[in-house]
Structure 1
Amino acid sequence: MSDISMGAGTRNGDAVVVDNTTMAKERRARFVRGTRNRVLSMIVLLVVWQLVSMVMKSSVLPSPIDVVVQLGKNLGEGNTYYQLYITIVRVLLGMALGVTSGIIAGIIMGLSRLGEELLDVWVLSLFTVPAIVYAMLCLLWFGLNDWAAIIAVGVGVLPAIAINMWQGTKAIDRDLIHMARSFRFSRRSIVLRVVLPQLIPYILAAFRYGLGLSWKIVTVVELLGLSSGVGYTLNYWFGNFSMVQVMAWTLLFTITLLIIEYGILKPVEAYLTRWRPVSQAQGGV
């Protein structure tokens, strides 16, 4: 009996090793395939951009080469990094306010019927207000300073985050919670080992959506009333009718978001969701 058990254990161990190896190979193949497809997509975009710019005036749509050259010149100036730094700080502080509040509100709404009944009207009402309205109101309330941008981001992001977390919390597999309780898991263990892992994909999705929305709101606030930041700089070059500068700063804006996405969010997501099967991580593909 002992030998049989040991043999079974060895076979099971071999199966786990093979399965882990297969999953690692599949992840690498998926990474290579995804990188190749993204590069091809960007090449197609640049080709189309170049072709369209050849039949239009440079004052309307400059070529990608001109934009990249101008971006290179901008990156050689210290003011570029200062303006980008100011915007990033405003985004991060506003995100901290909006994401924290939104996650708490969404989880309360998802777990409590009373919480849902008390908060859903507020969250949905805030969600319908355009971002430019938040920008105007905060500039009027708090003046032409950083707090106007930070609070506008926080309030603008909160309802989107709350709605995403609300639906994610309601989608939790409650059977797993009941099973954990039957095995006498502590409340802390249930939250950390059962509830939180199921919420991580929703939290990351909410963070991505909030990040994109935050940049838009900050840009609007900077454009309307502040004297620094990427939005202010875009408005400055727009007023000087320099389309190549507008496109260069837009490209810098986009590159920054892509660096955050693929340099920070993607690795964090891969680490936090490493327990999920490859097929599930691919979304059923």
Structure 2
Amino acid sequence: MDRGRKSPRGISGGLEWFSLPLLLLTWQILAVVVDHRLFPTPIEVVGELWYLATERSLLEDVFKTLTRAAIAFVVAMGAGIVLGGIFGRFRAADQLFGSWVLIGLNIPAIVVAITCYIWLGLTEFALILAVVINKAPLVTVTMREGVRALDHGYGELARVYRVPFWRRVRRFVVPQLMPYVLTAARTGLSLIWKIVLVFEVLGSDGGVGFRIGIFFQNFDIAGILAYTMAFMTVVILIEYAVMRQLEAKVLGWRPAFLSA
């Protein structure tokens, strides 16, 4: 292959850097065409973002929402991984509680939030519990399928060579399950952000969703978009700085594991 010619993968990777600028350019053009106070330009929103960050409580609200989302994410992932492992390993448990997981997957999030708020009050615990109840079933299902897909041939080989139990788990089980954990984490994060914001609108003492609810009452679209832009900036940083790095590490494990 000609070394001076870029591979299609390299070209597509370069195009990724133009994605967000293209989005902003499209937004700017549409705002100019519409020319209405309820459709601000990106420049106006950035100006509003700077004002809210320096003069108001934007940073405090973003931190509060991220804290709630992080706690709910850790708890939901931990519970889902444990339950998924049990249901994937023990068919009787899956048959007994499978309907519970199905109900958890399909019950509307708004119903869970309202019920938790009525039972427990407008508290941090009620909000986080509602998010966990909505998120944990998805992790459980993903991990259940991962446990069922385990290649038990490696386990038998390890037992033949008398590999210690925890080393078998670390060398043979965990590498096979990590893609499923990563999938559950990625889809879970995308859902948790949205659920936390909706629950904050329903009832909380601060946070991005709470503030967006106030902006909505005042028809302040610039404030809504400014808070959204701030929160999306954090989410994008997490995606590129954490999730993609972890994904690359997971994909790097698999060939080494399969060739061992």
Task: Report the TM-score, using the length of structure 1 for normalisation.
Answer: 0.82
Give unmatched runs, 5+ long, in structure 2.
1-6
Match of 2:124 in 1: 146
106-115 or 42-51, which deviates more: 42-51
Q: Which residue of 2 aligns with 1:102?
A: 80
Q: CA deviation at 1:166?
A: 1.1
Q: CA deviation at 1:192?
A: 1.1
User: Pick from 10, 18, 22: which aligns with 1:40?
Assistant: 18
Is residue 2:248 matched to residue 1:270?
Answer: yes
- Secondary structure of the 1:76 match is helix
**Alpha-carbon displacement from aligned partner over 1:77-119 (angstroms, at most 9, x marks no partner):** 4611111111111111111221111111111111111121122
Q: Which residue of 1 aligns with 2:111?
A: 133
CA displacement, residues 188-215 of structure 1 (integer Å, 9 cap, x when unaligned):
1221110111111111111111112111
Aligned partner (choices 61, 67, 70) of residue 45 of structure 2 = 67
Deviations 1:101-150 (A, max 9, x none): 11111111111111211221111110001111121111111111111111
Structure 2 residue 44 is the aligned partner of structure 1 residue 91: no
Summarize deviations over 1:188-243 as a string: whole Å, max 9, x none: 12211101111111111111111121111111111011120010011111111111
Q: How many angstroms does 1:261 deviate by?
A: 1.3
Q: Is this contact kept in 2: 1:59–1:242, CA < 8 A?
A: no
| Alignment correspondent of 2:30 | 52
1:48 Cα deviation after fit:
1.8
In 2, Cα distance between equivalents of 1:37 and 1:277: 27
Identity of matched residues, %: 34
Cα contact 2:38–2:221 (8 A) shared by 1: yes
**Which runs of structure 2 are paired with 1:185-200 in the superposition (5 Å)?**
185-200=163-178
- Go from structure 1 to structure 2 and tell me whether the alpha carbon gap of 1:255 and 1:34 turns closer, same or farther (over 3 Å shift): farther
Distance 1:276 1:49 in 2: 41
Contact 1:148–1:221 (8 Å) recurs in 2: no
Highest Rg: 1 or 2?
Answer: 1
Secondary structure in structure 2 of the residue aligned to 1:274? helix
Task: Give matches, 1:232-251, under 5 Å.
Answer: 232-251=210-229
Q: Answer yes or no: is the 8 Å Cα contact 1:135–1:149 preserved in 2.
A: yes
Q: Structure 1 unaligned runs (5+)? A: 1-28, 281-285
- Does the 8 A contact of 1:157 with 1:214 survive in 2? yes
Q: Contact 2:58/2:227 (CA < 8 Å) preserved in 1?
A: no
TM-score by structure 2 length? 0.89
Q: What are the equivalent positions in structure 2 for 1:214-233 lying under 5 Å apart?
A: 214-233=192-211
Of the structure 1 ranges 141-150 and 59-68, higher mean CA displacement relative to structure 2 is found in 59-68
Quick check: 1:135–1:217 contact (8 Å CA) kept in 2?
no
Q: CA contact under 8 A between 1:49 and 1:63: conserved in structure 2?
A: yes
Q: Which digits, 9 at most, give the CA deviation of each residue in 1:30-86, with x for residues without a partner?
A: 996565222222222222212221222433321112112222222224611111111
Which SS does the other structure have where 1:266 is aligned?
Answer: helix
Alignment of 1:82 onto 2:60? yes
